[in-house]
Chain A
Amino acid sequence: MTVTNAPDATGGYAVDVIERGEGHMVLSMGPQHPSTHGVLQVITEIEGEIVTKASPEIGYLHTGIEKSAENLFWSQASTVIERMDYLSPLTNALCYYLAVEKLLGIDDQIPPRANQIRVLLSELSRIASHCVWLGTGGIDLGALTGFFYCFDLRERILDLFEMSGGARMHPNYIRVGGLGQDLPEGFLAKLDGVIDMYEPRMRDVRRLLQKNPILQDRMIDVGIISADEAVAWSLTGPTLRATGIQYDVRRAFPYSGYDQYEFDVITRTEGDAYARFLVRLDEMDEAMRIIRQVRKQLDTPGAWQIPDTKFAPPPKETIALSMEALIHHFKLVSESFRVPPGDIYQAVEGPRGELGYYVVSNGDNRPWRVRTRPPSLYNLQVLKKIAIGELIADMVVMIGSLDPVFGEVDR
């Protein structure tokens, strides 16, 4: 008996069952299964209800983003790079541009206000991304109400992104040397609204989900990962910290001025799905704590882009008056800037863990190689280890608790 996973053999149903002797069967979950949060196929072998083997199959969403990025200008590549982790696009762009700025040697010249806004938007992305995880994760377990509370909060945050860069999902707001523009008028008032609504809203969500006995029953002691396993399987982010290891890129390798802000690295020691759930919930509160500290600094206006017109377009009003500004603008648009040869690994703490970029330049105006270290890829991989010996019904819980985003798993 062979495992049949080709779509033509299974007829394309979400769940296909192949009997294999007494009580033993091979069950193909996905790739169009609603609880896989994307296109994931898990070929599971079960005895009765117990999983004996799970092989996740990925690649259904492969779009060649890394290849595309090699063929775009340095400044254009961020448009495709933002589409990897589509739940927190700003984090991807931030990490990529931090790497480019280090290669250019301008990483210490970024104006403080630009760094503050970058931190602000990264933390807002973290909350928005965790809102999606929390809402859809609740739905997987039958708790529909929390979804609406979470998505309402996320919608207000996406409104802020829309104000900053013009688009809800992929604002492409971060640029080399700073930002695309300053925060528009009315942004801070709206941000205050989000800060004010956050606490009562999360209190409601916690009441709905955290203490819910049904959810606790489904999550406690499910998908346990030990600290040693977490290290061996290269887990990062909340999944790693739920096993008790205190590693957070924001603390370990601070970037964009994260060392100025007070926040705690949340850890728990249980390592099960409920621990990951609680770590993410507490992390949202810590993100809001950082946002409150950044908010206080944003009242003082300042530069949001380095003045070097070799990287940053000159201000719009000077283009009509100054020949030099026009030339710089034309050069930037038509052939972008060149980056000195070299390679660099830069990492940031994304909502799912350590998001890294290994960027290689050969001195040209396009990147030679942009290799992403997607946290979801490594976090999802551990599923084949933790699913063994669990109930087939808990597969949904485990996938949800690992919080994969298939845009970055498959790239």
Chain B
Amino acid sequence: MPSSQAPPAGATAVDPTAVRPDIADARILRVTPAALRAALEDLKRDGFSMLLDVGGVDYLEREPRYDIAYHLLRLPTQAASAGQIGQPERVRVLCGVPGDATTVPTVVDLWPSADWAEREIFDLYGITFEGHPDLRRIQMPDDWEGHPLRKDYPLRGVARERTPRPSFALKSNVAAGTPASGRTAAGLQKQIAEVRARADGHAAPNPLQAKDGKQP
């Protein structure tokens, strides 16, 4: 049994799938993007009729950098009564995608269900699916920059240009001294002052100014 006190394998994953313990959860196939469609077509002909899921993994320092995991299922054969069901089977196709050539052929024409899953990988990992009929962001807003599930994307996001609501910004970000968006407190105060100046002189007194006596 593995010990929980084993030293960590490092800050980034080398290739966990290569050193995995012997677990019989699925048959694993490893392919390149060029061989992906042929492998999946073969499996589909073989009776793996259902594409359960398409998910991405970013290994950051491994080459190829990304994995796309296709989880396929062979459905149990029909049986008259419960308990007589034929053995269903799972297979996992792992497609390595290099970090500098993030293009993979789509499988939407083989399984229509891949549509949203591929859009999600495009959205969150920035991997393009060639031939996808409607490849656009699905979870994040359309004008979002960056791909949040990449390992080099910070947990709290990167700084974006947006107009802060003065009262909210003052309370949460500036007063706490930790601007969540990565902007400096001074820059934010300057922006707030500009917004207030635009508001035609009807702005409420600046609580920060009252607090530390300094002009923002």
Residues of A whose CB lies within 8 Å of any CB of B are 58-59, 62, 64, 66-68, 71, 102-106, 231-234, 236, 245-247, 251-253, 263-265, 310-311, 337-347, 354, 356, 358, 360-365, 368-369, 371, 373, 377-378, 381, 385, 410-411
Nearest CB of chain B from residue A103's CB, rounded to whole Å: 7
Chain B, residues 1-18, CB within 8 Å of chain A (1/0): the string is 111111111111110110
Give the residues in chain B near A67, CB-CB below 8 Å: 148-149, 155
Nearest CB of chain A from residue B199's CB, rounded to whole Å: 21
7 CB contacts below 8 A, A to B, read A105-B21, A338-B4, A343-B17, A360-B13, A362-B14, A363-B10, A373-B53
A233 touches B75 (CB 8 A): no
Range of interface residues on B (Cβ < 8 Å): 35 or more
Give the residues in chain A near B78, CB-CB below 8 Å: 245-246
Give the residues in chain A near B155, CB-CB below 8 Å: 67-68, 71
B interface SS class: loop
A62 touches B139 (CB 8 A): yes
Closest to A337 in B: B4
Within 35-57 of B, Cβ neighbours of A (below 8 Å) are at 49-53, 55-57
Q: Which of A105, A232, A360, A364 has the most CB of B within 10 A?
A: A360
A361 touches B69 (CB 8 A): no
Residues of B whose CB lies within 8 Å of any CB of A are 1-14, 16-17, 19-21, 23, 25-26, 49-53, 55-58, 69, 71, 75-76, 78-79, 82, 85, 88, 90, 92, 111-113, 115-117, 137-141, 148-149, 155
Nearest CB of chain B from residue A314's CB, rounded to whole Å: 14
Residue from A71, A361, A371, A410 in contact with B55 in the complex, judged by beta carbons closer than 8 Å: A371
Known contacts A64-B148, A341-B20, A362-B13; 19 additional CB pairs below 8 A are A62-B140, A71-B155, A233-B113, A234-B52, A245-B75, A253-B88, A338-B5, A341-B14, A341-B16, A343-B69, A344-B25, A345-B90, A345-B92, A356-B71, A360-B17, A363-B6, A369-B58, A373-B53, A373-B71
B82 touches A264 (CB 8 A): yes
B1 touches A105 (CB 8 A): yes
B57 touches A360 (CB 8 A): yes
Give the residues in chain A near B21, CB-CB below 8 Å: 103, 105, 340, 342
Give the residues in chain B near A378, CB-CB below 8 Å: 113, 116
The answer for the CA separation of A363 and B21 in the assembled complex, in Å, is: 12
A310 touches B139 (CB 8 A): no
Q: Given A67-B148, A247-B88: A342 and B20 within 8 A (CB)?
A: yes
Give the residues in chain A near B53, CB-CB below 8 Å: 234, 356, 358, 371, 373
Q: Given A338-B8, A358-B53, A381-B115: A346 and B25 within 8 A (CB)?
A: yes
A362 touches B5 (CB 8 A): no
Q: Given A234-B113, A342-B16: A365 and B8 within 8 A (CB)?
A: yes
Nearest CB of chain B from residue A333's CB, rounded to whole Å: 14
Give the residues in chain A near B140, CB-CB below 8 Å: 59, 62
B16 touches A102 (CB 8 A): no
B3 touches A246 (CB 8 A): no
Nearest CB of chain A from residue B156's CB, rounded to whole Å: 10
Q: Given A344-B23, A344-B25, A377-B116: A364 and B9 within 8 A (CB)?
A: yes
A233 touches B112 (CB 8 A): yes
